[in-house]
Amino acid sequence: MATDVQDVLGSSVKRVEDPRFITGKGRYLDDIVLTGMTHMAILRSPYAHANIRSVDTSAAKSMPGVIAVIVGADIPWNPLPMAWPAGGSSGIVNNVNTPRILATDSVKWTGEGVAAVVAETAEQAIDALEAIQVDYEPLPAVVDAEKATQPGAPQLHENAPNNVVFTWPVGDKAGTDKAFDEAEVVVRQRVVNHRLIPNPMEVRGDIGLYNPGTDEYTVWMSSQTPHIQRLLLAAFVTGIPEHKIRCISPDVGGAFGSKIFCYADMALVMHASKLVGGRPVKWVESRRESYGSTIHGRDHVTYIEVAGKKDGEVTGLRVKTYANLGGRLSTIGPGIPTTLYGRVLSGCYKIPNVYAEVTGVYTNTTFVDAYRGAGRPEATYVIERAMDLFANEIGMDKAAIRRKNFIPPDQFPFDNPSGLGTAVNGEKIYIDSGNYEPALNKALIAVDYQDLDKAKAEAKRRGKLLGLGLSTYIEVCGVAPSKWIGAVGEGWGAAMWESSNIKVHLTGKVIVTMGTQPQGQGHETTFSQVIAHELGVPMEDIVVQHSDTQGTPFGYGTYGSRSGTVGSTAAIKAADKIRDKARRYAAHMLEAAPDDIEVVGAEYRVKGSPEKKKTLQEIAFALDLGFSLPTGMEPYLDETAYYDTPNCTWPFGTHIAVVEIDEETGETDLIRYLAVDDVGKKINPMIVDGQLHGGIAQGVGQALWEAAIYADDGQLLSGSMMDYALPRASWLPSFELDETVTPSPVNPLGVKGVGEAGAIASTAAVANAVNDALAPLGIRHLDMPFTAQTVWRAIQTAKGGQS
Amino acid sequence: MTEHISLTVNGQPREGDVEPRRMLVQFLREDLELTGTHVGCDTSQCGACTVHLDGKSIKSCTMLAVQADGSTVTTIEGMAAADGALHPLQLAFWEKHGLQCGFCTPGMIMAAADLLTRDTEPSDEEIRHAIEGNICRCTGYHNIVAAIREAAVTMRAGAAAPTGAAAPTVANA
């Protein structure tokens, strides 16, 4: 290890993960085959709402290959936990109902699990499901959150009158009401942020393996959070001691939030493996099944009110949101529309008075939880639509109104009085940094904003309505300070620090184990870059390991754009400890005082005598053997760090969408998409850009095509990939990315997180563009998704024709 | 009841006894343990299962194994040369960051390879059209298009140049 090792931090090195993926050697859950493995299939309710009178499994038990049939009453374990109530310990009442491992008395959505079959093959298990007779008593269903709270709506749970899970207020109600009383202009609009299905390309699955000899369970799971799942399965669901459960996430084929959670199938494969004498039990959901067994996202109905002055100053924002949480609650369902939505509603604007009230609602639909951005795309949609609506009302330019209301760069850290800055038991977080106008200006120049009217006129001559939409977003990343998110009860009942262990082995090779859990983000590359930088070791000598509760330090996993900020800082802290011990041992080897050792890359030199030096490799070899140790020093270069972030991080930027709508057909074409993002410093710019691309595509997908649609009786009409319109290559343009760089002061790398930024910004940008295109027809607001039919109908209605 | 089938997979003669309802993708993944071909949906929409059958890309979730009897099949595992040298598309996906979670990648590479045998110089629009049957949820397709464009350039240069220079393999790249 020489000092001339190239510093790879901040460079677009190719991913170390890719060789296995481009050659078909990735190892995803369904690729795992264990000796004696059995297969499980789950019978799911065809009704959205029904009582279960009886379940007859006798015929199924005699089907070919069937080993066991399981019903809910067989399983002695608890319902799944709900770990993030609205308002935490603030006194807000949460009327909690969570799924059982298998339903026993009633079903609340189409797709809730009722029984399971374990068989020799997957086909035999699926065949045997057909032979299970369930006697249902169908009940009236409700799928719309707003309707579900109305008098006379079908009631899902005895403990939740009017299907209300919680009503959660945030902000200063009196002050906001006063701002509205005194306002020169008030704008009101109802907006729907419709339901989405996350759709990672790999569906979920689990393999359970019970060891009768040791009474231990191993669960392979396609999960973003193996450590959390072990904790939840042990302490909340099964009662099996935590040290008797091992959870392993193999390669995970995308997740986007949907694989954060504790799912019934995880416990079910454990139960099933013990039931069949310790044979492994594999369950992999089908795509159709996934739409009912894995969480959905978004699904808000929101009433927006904006108060302000005729000069464009926004003085008040009042919001009422109905958040559809599904038939029963997922792991952190209530936390998403509260902490991660209600507290960031004012975005990047210095709106002095903000008040929001969020009502979480049960409906006969698949449970709703975190999907890429989780609350923040919904908040961005509200505030960015609000700014456009207000600008239109007073006839102000949409860039100008944003400039007028931005939090000025000299006001950071910004203590937003009605948002995240709201103290909970004295603890609060603040917006760490920002400089919003340069990003906006850069994007406006790139899109030739000054020529917008000319472009619209030119398009009009071709029969097209051109629209341009701005989204000057902000997001909260790097969740989160434990004392704020956990201990004081704002968030879930856990901490959110991260962990890393580094071992420099005898041969000088470095193994970094992390508590984070990638799903395509390239952690094995980026964490290697960070540690290569910290220790002066070539990347080829470093391997990053994760995913297995046996062999990695406890960590909270990967979501909320937290791994780059909280995770890599934990790795840096571990590297600090490695360097410190190596320095002390180098002093011992070189017979110098530790303070006289300077570290240059991987070389530990005596100050003033640079020829007297030891490399990290030499130090590790001697220290790991431990033949000669200074008094009190333990052998081995092996250090662990746990890092709790003092604050979240706050990426921001300006996204611009340009659309053309065919006035005859209503078809919307996204012709340009520009994004100027400030995600702070970058560990690997290539990976950062890739994260933005993917996030943008998902947000554009919501605006233009994607929608989970339920019939009134609770049947999911968009129940397959033939009906749920995922973005395809030919529907999207290439994206034009640029940046500003405002390093985050929160962590040593100055990074902010980028996993969700694209999805948070882009939906609002496209929605604003479509509404801008339709504005000349007198259309004030149209709800997403902007399918040709929706837009065509709006155009016809506006023109006074039949629709 | 099973049917006996024989086919050539990645240059090797393979055979097996399969239920008539067994899909080609199941035969490849479960019987031949070629798990690089993935299943991402149940309606022939996602393309994660794309392989080549007699030189053309097909969705192996939509073909019965018995229908492939007597055919020649290439999967992602058969794309690198016998000496381990990666296919230009594999290299380009790596170079251009054309993958994130990697789940759609094998099918995407197989679909792209089919395109580049038909059209050595596709436009971006033609590339986007050609991979329309393959869904990627991670990349927004931006870098996939760039990777296929780059591979087309490499393959055209390779076709024009004399042979001899070996492409890098995974081991030494």
B172 versus A399: which is more confidently predicted?
A399
Does residue B171 carry a pLDDT above 60?
Answer: no
Where does A18-25+497-643 sit in CATH, by number?
Answer: 3.30.365.10
Contacts of A17 in chain B (CB under 8 A): 102
Q: Where are the domains of chain A?
A: 18-25+497-643
End position of a domain, from candidates B56, B78, B100: B78
* Amino acid making up residue B127: I
**CA separation for the pair B98, A686 (Å, rounded):** 10
d(CA A94, CA A92): 6
- Please report whether residue B38 resides in a domain: yes
Integer Cα distance of A108 and A142 in angstroms = 10
- Considering the domain architecture, whether residues B102 and B149 belong to the same structural domain is answered as yes
Residue A330, amino acid:
S
State the Cα–Cα distance between residues A394 and A307, nearest whole angstrom.
12
Q: State whether B13 and B72 are in the same domain.
A: yes
Structure tokens at A641: 């760090």
Here the CATH number for the domain that contains residue B94 is 1.10.150.120
Tens digit of each residue's pLDDT (9 = 90 or more) over A346-374: 999 999 999 999 999 999 999 999 999 99
Omega before A413 cis (within 30°)? Answer: yes
Amino acid at site A433: S
Angle between helices A376-394 and A757-774 (to 10 degrees): 30
B83 touches chain A (CB under 8 A): no
Digit-coded pLDDT (tens) for A456-496: 999 999 999 999 999 999 998 888 888 777 755 566 667 88
Please report residues of A whose CB lies closer than 8 A to that of B60. Answer: none
The Cα-based distances of A726 to A701, A706, A717, A753, B8 in angstroms read 7, 6, 15, 25, 34
Is the residue at B132 inside a domain?
yes
Range of the domain at B137: 88-160
- Residue A253 tokens read as 């084929």
As a whole number, mean pLDDT of residues B161-166 equals: 54
Average pLDDT over residues A63-86: 96
d(CA A562, CA A224): 12
Q: Is residue B45 part of a domain?
A: yes
Instruction: At A61, list the tokens.
Output: 């038990």
Q: Does B93 touch chain A (CB under 8 A)?
A: yes
Interval B86-119: pLDDT, tens:
999 999 999 999 999 999 999 999 999 999 999 9
Asked if B31 and B52 sit in the same domain, the reply is yes
Tokens at residue A631, please? Answer: 């008094």
Do residues B130 and B69 both lie within one domain? Answer: no
Domain count, chain B: 2
Four-residue CA torsion sign, A226, A228, A231, A232: negative
Instruction: Report which of A60, A45, A28 is spatially closest to residue A113, judged by C-alpha positions.
Output: A45
Q: Is residue A89 very low, low, confident or very high in pLDDT (cuts 50, 70, 90)?
A: low
Query: What's the CA gap between A73 and A80, in Å, rounded?
Result: 15
Query: In the prediction, which pLDDT does A574 show?
Result: 98
Cβ of residue B25 closer than 8 Å to a chain A Cβ: no
In angstroms, rounded to a whole number, what is the distance separating the alpha carbons of residues B41 and A740? Answer: 39
User: Which of A254, A521, A721 is nearest residue B43 as measured by Cβ atoms?
Assistant: A721
Q: Which two tokens stand for residue A247?
A: 């959870």
Q: Which two tokens stand for residue A328?
A: 């029963």
Asked whether residue B165 is domain-assigned, the answer is no
ipTM over 0.95: yes
Is B137 in Cβ contact with A256 (below 8 Å)? yes
- What CA–CA distance (Å, rounded) separates B127 from B150? 11
Q: In this structure, are B56 and B109 located in the same domain?
A: no
- In whole angstroms, what is the distance from residue B98 CA to residue A735 CA? 14
Taking CA–CA distances from A19, the nearest residue in chain B reads B170
Interchain contact, B40 vs A201, CB within 8 Å: yes
pLDDT at A415: 81
Confidence label for B172 from pLDDT (cuts 50, 70 and 90): very low
Would residue B42 count as lying in a domain?
A: yes
Domain assignment of residue B126, yes or no: yes
Give the distance from CA A692 to its chain's centroid.
14
For residues A238 and A270, the answer to whether their CB atoms sit within 8 Å is yes
Residues of B with CB below 8 A from A696's CB?
140
Residue B168 belongs to some domain of the structure:
no
d(CA B84, CA B169): 5
Residue B46 touches partner A, C-beta closer than 8 Å: yes
Residue B58 and residue B104 in one domain = no
What integer pLDDT is reported at residue A87 of this predicted model? 83
**So what's the pLDDT on residue A483?**
79
